[in-house]
Amino acid sequence: MDNSSAKDIANHLAADGDRFKELKAFDDSKAGVKGLVDAGVKSLPKIFIRPPEELLEELNLGRSQTEFPVIDLSGIQSGPDQRKSVVDTLRRASEEWGFFQVANHGIPAKLLNGIVHGTCEFHELDAELKEKYYSRDLSRVVRYSSNIDLYQSNVATWRDTLTINLMTTYQVEPDELPEVCRNAVMDYIDHVTKLGETLFELLSEALGLKLDDLNAMECAKARNFVLHYYPACPEPDKTLGTRRHTDPSFLTILLQDQIGGLQVLRDNQWIDVPPVPGSLVVNIGDLLQIVSNDKYKSAEHRVLANRIGPRISIACFFSGVIAPPKIYSPIKELVSEECPALYKEFQVGEYLKNFYSNSLDNSRLQKLKI
């Protein structure tokens, strides 16, 4: 799509009062938020502006600079005392925060820089080169889109995404990926998958389970990689990069660049998750909160929009087994007469179906409460 077409879309979004038509015009452009930026928009189209009641409600939530937990994983191979220290820190962070950062995780800095660069390169391709990847079909292995809940939410957010869906096929062929980020994506998938399996071992140990229990449950099998691009926003106070939500996963590993904007909700305050060079952000997902019987916490989080950009982040969601359907429930070793099961049995596929049919900020955890 050329610049004049993008400007037509931007003008249409500004002039048309019918929300669905605005959404459809934006979606049909297949150019995402980046297309609006390229068209030179100076103010936000109406579909991106948060309603006044939402902004008013947010005044009740504070912001804090509380120190964020960082865990040095080099200690897990340094002897039993150091490993115990890592596991204890991990337990506290998972129970109290549901979020932490990991340093010395074993993924080379060159690869981290490469995947950030490759993500940026893809999203900054000419619109017509990205168009063939654009789709709202969640079953596609490789797809590019803007706002996964575009038609379900009451307001759009300032973000585009390239998704690599390994939820049922479990692997991607190199030639399915855009050439500009192909090698970096393939290498990153391998490294993050191994890191995820290591974290599941530590999380099992922290729960008092056998080292391989969470991996034996195949928590790391289905994976969804999202390569996010948040362009500079002309009016960041009126919108968000990502709405507040919890993740429909067992575990999420996130690489964010140095711009920042990620926040986690704790004690009714938004806490900034500061970018730490070379580190990765890890958070507990809904599914791990359920199977841990509320031992671990799936915390709400969001991403602010920013006048500076683009901001790049890459997340991997570990989601267990979808096909063939597998039943998950609170782990029996964590259930007792004093601490009964708090959740019903569930299937990941059904949980995700419910997640994707609603707005991102519509929590699903309560629906499984006993």
Domain boundaries, the chain: 1-48, 66-368
Reply yes or no on whether the pLDDT at 321 is more than 90. yes
Predicted confidence (pLDDT) per residue in 225-262, tens digit? 999 999 999 999 999 999 999 999 999 999 999 999 99
Order of strands, sheet of 280-284, starting from the edge strand that comes earlier in the sequence: 70-72, 99-103, 280-284, 251-256, 311-318, 223-230, 160-166, 142-146
Token output for 367: 């629906």
Q: What is the structure's pLDDT at 64?
A: 66
CA-based end-to-end distance of the chain: 51
Alpha-carbon radius of gyration of the chain: 20
Q: Please give the average per-residue pLDDT across 118-135, as a whole number.
A: 96
Mean pLDDT (whole number) for 118-145: 96
CA distance 180 to 360: 29
Per-residue pLDDT for 62 more than 70? no
Q: Are 317 and 287 in contact (CB under 8 A)?
A: no
pLDDT at residue 77, as a whole number: 82
CA distance 327 to 43: 48
How many whole angstroms separate alpha carbon 165 and alpha carbon 229?
17
Name which residue leads in pLDDT, 18 or 363.
Answer: 18
78 φ, ψ to 5°? Answer: -100, 10
Measured CA angle at 285 (ends 178, 255), to 5 deg: 40
Domain 66-368 has CATH 2.60.120.330: yes
Average pLDDT, the chain: 92
What pLDDT digit, counting tens, does each position of 100-126 carry?
999 999 999 999 999 999 999 999 999
